[in-house]
Amino acid sequence: METKDDENYFFNFSFFKVDPKWRWMADLAKEESAKEVNNVLRNTGIKLRTYTTLGLRDDADFLFWFASKSVEEIQNAISKLYLTVFGKYITPSLVYLSYTRPSIYAKNGKTISFVAGNEPKKYVVVYPFTKTREWYLLPKAERQKMMDEHIDLGQKYPQIILNTTYSFGIHDEDFMLAFETDDLPDFQNLIMDLRETKVSVYVKVDTPMIVCVKKDIIPLISSLG
């Protein structure tokens, strides 16, 4: 199944760590720096969602989730971020690249929630996902049957929104998954149920699994110390 070029986006999930020296800056300077970052990124014209991971992991403090028509536009946005005052105090810790395209298994594919401009939910759980090579060697009908079970189970959780994008050939994993939810125990229930499906046998990697809390740029930066 093909899509028009104007429906396709590159996704970039950029996680950052903050230099502890940032916390020693005067509060007014930090406030002005937060406003600078907000103005710079909002004026790039590309889609952006921002989340905090503060205190939830030891390898990331926040996530900037970009969606753009080209990787060059994403690079331009991150370059402008580094040119800000705040940009001098951050270091990328985890970075993922993927591309939107329709599933070959889902019969009624929907536009990615982020791309459609839907209101984000309170949390997003982001993780890379890779299946075994044995999976791809199975007959298509056999894979479809297992995926039908997988999809049917997911439909029992309509309150959880899945953004699936593809990383084949452009990053280390096969897919990037971003599950949006307003309730983390609901998402945990879904994952526990999915572990019992047949397709789970063919999962090679599905970590790190990163819980992110939605927060706008200015309060996000203000919360960092």
32-60 pLDDT, tens per residue? 999 999 999 999 999 999 999 999 999 99
Q: Is the pLDDT of residue 208 over 80?
A: yes
User: Is 76 inside any structural domain?
Assistant: yes
| Secondary structure class of 83 (helix, strand, coil) | coil
For position 6, what pLDDT does the model report? 57
Residue 147 one-letter amino acid = M
129-172 pLDDT, tens per residue? 999 999 999 999 999 999 999 999 999 999 999 999 999 999 99
Question: Are residue 92 and residue 145 in the same domain, yes or no?
Answer: no
In the chain, the percentage of residues whose pLDDT exceeds 90 is: 88
- Residue 152's Cβ-count burial label (10 Å; 0-12, 13-18, 19+) is exposed
Entry pTM: 0.93
Question: Are residue 91 and residue 139 in the same domain, yes or no?
Answer: no
> Which of 29, 13, 15, 14 lies closest to 86 in space, CA to CA?
29
Using CA atoms, how far apart are residues 14 and 180, in angstroms rounded to an integer?
Answer: 17
Mean per-residue pLDDT for 115-140? 96
Q: Strand locations in the chain, DSSP E?
A: 10-18, 47-52, 62-68, 90-99, 123-131, 161-166, 175-181, 203-205, 210-214
Using CA atoms, how far apart are residues 98 and 167, in angstroms rounded to an integer?
Answer: 4
| Summary mean pLDDT of the chain | 94
In the chain, the percentage of residues whose pLDDT exceeds 70 is: 96
Q: Is the pLDDT of residue 203 over 80?
A: yes
Number of structural domains found in the chain: 2
| Distance spanning both ends of the chain, measured CA to CA | 47
Mean per-residue pLDDT for 178-207? 97
For position 103, what pLDDT does the model report? 86
Question: Are residue 218 and residue 191 in the same domain, yes or no?
Answer: no
Question: Are residue 24 and residue 81 in the same domain, yes or no?
Answer: yes
Phi and psi of 183, rounded to 5°?
-145, 110
For position 109, what pLDDT does the model report? 65
Mean per-residue pLDDT for 98-116? 84
For position 2, what pLDDT does the model report? 40
CA angle 222, 187, 224 (to 5 degrees): 10
Higher model confidence: residue 167 or residue 108?
A: 167
For position 107, what pLDDT does the model report? 77
For position 170, what pLDDT does the model report? 98
CATH number for the domain harbouring residue 155: 3.30.70.1030
Question: Are residue 161 and residue 81 in the same domain, yes or no?
Answer: no
Question: Are residue 34 and residue 67 in the same domain, yes or no?
Answer: yes
Q: Residue 197: which domain range?
A: 121-210
User: Is 110 inside any structural domain?
Assistant: no
When computed from its CA atoms, the radius of gyration of the chain, rounded to whole angstroms, is 18
Question: Are residue 147 and residue 182 in the same domain, yes or no?
Answer: yes
For position 7, what pLDDT does the model report? 78
Name residue, tokens 């997003």: 124
